[in-house]
Structure 1
Amino acid sequence: MPSKYAFDFDPQETNTSHGLLVGMVPPRSRVLDVGCAAGYLGDALKDKECIVRGVELDPVAAEEARAHLASVVVADAETLDYAAEFGAEAFDVVVLADVLEHVRNPARVLAGALSVLAEDGTLVISIPNVAHGSLRLGLLQGRWNYTPLGLLDETHVRFVTWDTLQDLLTDAGIIVSAAWMTTADPLATEVDVDPALLPQEVVDWVRAQPLALGYQFVLSARRAVPGETPPQVEPLPAGPVVAPAESPTIVSAREEVEQLRRTLADREDELRAAKEIIAYHEAAALEAERRLRDSATWRVGNAVVTPLRAAKRAFRPTDPGKG
């Protein structure tokens, strides 16, 4: 059964992580592709006269990769002794393409990569952005549903934002040299979001947040010089973001929701007006009663009626049944 991570891609397409990664690797480099899957990335690098070796956990995918790479080691990227397997400074470039999110201890993988990287070598890394707008909108709807591939790949165990990724690399002694982000509209990904139930103002607000359109971060990095302060680097958009056209069903649902909101607002206005009318009449009735009690007629009438009531009680006939 083919690996689910085996797919074709266009190395010239810059708004994909793999297209960007291929562009970052200098021609005729010695390359280690950690998590090489079926070898599709290494196959593209052969066109740049690179010598590519791979590390892959899945033996079936590793077997496929052997057709494209110089060699493949079947091993766990977290536990492999890189230096013992390949030797120190064995590679000009180490590629970690969508790898760090799959391991529980990414710092160990980064340390292994540095142990076989040439002194002036380059790390090339891609990793999903957990703060992408689609995930923000999904959480607003209470949704976090894993998928076979994508931002919430069912095998992901680590999640990063741009800030936490930089912290991870800095702690590992790695400096980011340049960074990009592939871009995707929050409503145009595989993430479970129901746009018909979202106010358009909320969607627009999320779209405007920093790095919310970044689907994956793709960067080149190097070994840090002892005592070096990491520079402030922000990922550049790798492509334009095109909002998806809304389907007739979504448009109809959104219009229905807006109509319901307007109807509810009208009913709330009517209820508020009715309460004001009731309150007005209650106040008017109380005021009329107060004025009546303060009037001379009320006082005279009360003065006459009260003694009559008392006299009537005094002369009430005695009940024959009582002694």
Structure 2
Amino acid sequence: MASKDCFRYFYEIDLDTDTTASKILHLVGQGKRVLECGCGPGHMTRVLVDHFRCEVTGIEIDKDAAKEAETFCHRVICGDLDILNLEECLEGQKFDVVVFADVLEHLKDPGRSLKQAHKILAPDSYVVISVPNIAYAGLLADLLQGRFRYREKGLLDATHLRFFTAEGLRELLTKEGYFIATWDRMQVAPEDTEFGACLEELPPVIREFLLDGPEAMTYQFVIKVCPSDSTKTVKDLKDGLRLAEEERLFLRNQGHNSELDTLRTRLAQTEAELTLTRSSKIWRLAAPLRALRRLWSGICVL
């Protein structure tokens, strides 16, 4: 990313609004030791430090942006996440939260950075991620009309190297050893984005088909994940069960049977994972295990 381009991502943050940045910051929480990967010039860093009283270490590829971020960061490392060895450059330091806010899509190998994050996470820590949704209805409408236009900002930012759907992102996170604790969405009508009235240019039957997609209005995903190789707390498991229940209801209400089948499979995998840990933590896992069985019973009668 060219030095002059990095500052185009700078914007003011209002914590009382339902924006991606606000969602990310609230997921991070108060008083955390934070590693902000791709911190840019520090627009989120400033809020993490001033409002949430966090200690932030930043990583930024652009030297000018990194210099700006030094104003807010405890420490800034100027380097490329696709090349850096996080454990070495951070000299064994551990963090409560690692943030990848609109960063993974800019990397050649996002899985590498997610895998490395395991080594710098403290006990009971987590990772907060936001990525754009390539299955957004506005983008698909443009594509159906033969347009795939890169832009300075947005879903088709010219610096994006990777593209994610909900299922592709889940697969990546699972592959790299993470358990999804919360899954949020930033939903925006296409006419309020860079895609404008592109949906209105399509025949009604195609427009309705696109809008019927389970993530049609999702512009970005905002996710909190925990290492799946660590001992999960009851809260982690309850969060996962709540997430599954929300998705089950969301899909049932929209009549997406194929997505429900996928969710049933994921719930079965979660049940198997819980079973593996029962022997050592049975008194802590009894309640969420019963809840999972109740949820599974509800899905089976759909």
- Is the contact made by 1:143 and 1:193 (CA closer than 8 Å) also made in structure 2? no
Cα distance in 2 between the residues matched to 1:7 and 1:225: 36
Query: Could you say which residue in structure 2 is the equivalent of 1:92?
Result: 96
Matched, 1:78 2:76: no
Query: Could you say which residue in structure 2 is the equivalent of 1:24?
Result: 27
- Is the contact made by 1:152 and 1:191 (CA closer than 8 Å) also made in structure 2? no
Cα distance in 2 between the residues matched to 1:169 and 1:58: 26
Query: Could you say which residue in structure 1 is the equivalent of 2:42?
Result: 39
Query: What 5-or-longer segments of structure 2 have no aligned partner?
Result: 248-302
Change (3 A) 1:128 1:235: farther
- Is the contact made by 2:82 and 2:113 (CA closer than 8 Å) also made in structure 1? yes
Cα distance in 1 between the residues matched to 2:161 and 2:178: 22
Structural RMSD (CA)? 2.3
Larger Rg: 1
Matched, 1:215 2:253: no
Cα distance in 1 between the residues matched to 2:7 and 2:245: 30
Cα distance in 1 between the residues matched to 2:21 and 2:207: 28
Query: Could you say which residue in structure 2 is the equivalent of 1:189?
Result: 193
Once the two structures are TM-superposed, the CA of residue 82 in structure 1 deviates from its matched residue by 1.0
Cα distance in 2 between the residues matched to 1:131 and 1:155: 18
- 1:72-128 superposed Cα distances (whole Å, 9 cap, x missing partner): 110001211111122446100000001100011011111222211112101000000
Change (3 A) 1:131 1:122: same
- 1:49-90 superposed Cα distances (whole Å, 9 cap, x missing partner): 100110000001111111121111100012111111224461
- Is the contact made by 2:36 and 2:59 (CA closer than 8 Å) also made in structure 1? yes
State the percentage of identical aligned residues. Answer: 34
Change (3 A) 1:195 1:161: closer
Query: Could you say which residue in structure 2 is the equivalent of 1:203?
Result: 207
Change (3 A) 1:59 1:141: same
Matched residue type, 1:37: G
Query: Could you say which residue in structure 1 is the equivalent of 2:140?
Result: 136
- Is the contact made by 2:189 and 2:217 (CA closer than 8 Å) also made in structure 1? yes
- Is the contact made by 2:190 and 2:196 (CA closer than 8 Å) also made in structure 1? no
Q: Could you say what secondary structure the match of 2:7 adopts?
A: coil
Change (3 A) 1:161 1:195: closer
Query: Could you say which residue in structure 2 is the equivalent of 1:66?
Result: 70
TM-score if structure 2 supplies the norm length? Answer: 0.72
Q: How many residues align?
A: 235
Cα distance in 1 between the residues matched to 2:228 and 2:93: 16
TM-score if structure 1 supplies the norm length? Answer: 0.68
Greater shift after overlay, 3-12 or 124-133?
3-12
Change (3 A) 1:206 1:83: same
Once the two structures are TM-superposed, the CA of residue 135 in structure 1 deviates from its matched residue by 1.1
Greater shift after overlay, 211-220 or 190-199?
190-199
Query: Could you say which residue in structure 2 is the equivalent of 1:147?
Result: 151
Change (3 A) 1:211 1:172: same
- 1:214-233 superposed Cα distances (whole Å, 9 cap, x missing partner): 100001000003799x9685
Equivalences for residues 113-124 of structure 1 within 5 A: 113-124=117-128
- Is the contact made by 1:143 and 1:192 (CA closer than 8 Å) also made in structure 2? no
Given the alignment, which residue of 151, 163, 170 partners 1:166? 170
Change (3 A) 1:34 1:81: same
